[in-house]
Structure 1
């Protein structure tokens, strides 16, 4: 939503986005479910859930669910509204934003992958007022980790990595907010 807010406001000094999606959220949700199903192996319950998710994602994409019906814990209208402004639409909106942008991505992010970061780079990477940075050893919460990502990491208390905090502070203090 940050690019849309910046575009509507028109007076912001800058926009900072941590782990923004460049793909549709429902597709990311499906990819996450597929990831967890693969990790579950032959678990029949996980396979049934994956089938349910695939079906509901298609229904959301086709707007086949009544707006007031609940899907994944919220009414379908929420998903329809989110789909009208998420992922690709956020990238398009960011491309029209005049203020400086700092976009940070985590290399060990299982939710938002290198594909998302590449889409942001393609759309904004040549703009002098945009800084894109990827932190290879951090997860989606910008916490450090090693090896393949595990959802168990989300249960470990921690703090946003100091390097991320320093990057944000540097960017805010830099002229026009963009330091290449």
Structure 2
């Protein structure tokens, strides 16, 4: 057992399990948060066959990266669909050209490390569902109790800057 707050032993951390509908199912260990990281997040992710963790999305403030540890999958990246397997690393810079989603299209669990800068505020755009998420006070994947703003809206929710203002 570690005696330093910035050192964690992954096997000693519990999994968080998430399921949402028929396509989303993953297990996650937030290594960066457990080691009290400040500006770099890292999660050990595990996707069951046929599942994915997050919808296709991109960030306007945070850069992400994936390193595949075991299994194989399909990475939707921008307009491309790329096969990935153990040993592959992908950088996911800020912006629409890095819209990404990792899907386990194999028959075994897909395990990977997901890295992220921990910048707030951030805006995430979801092209498939035409939604936007705005978060402040804590970076996405950060301390939910520290959030001062978190909202998910349809992109079509835009209003005129002055609408609703008393004159």
Instruction: Report the TM-score when normalising by structure 1.
Output: 0.27
Greater share of helix? 1
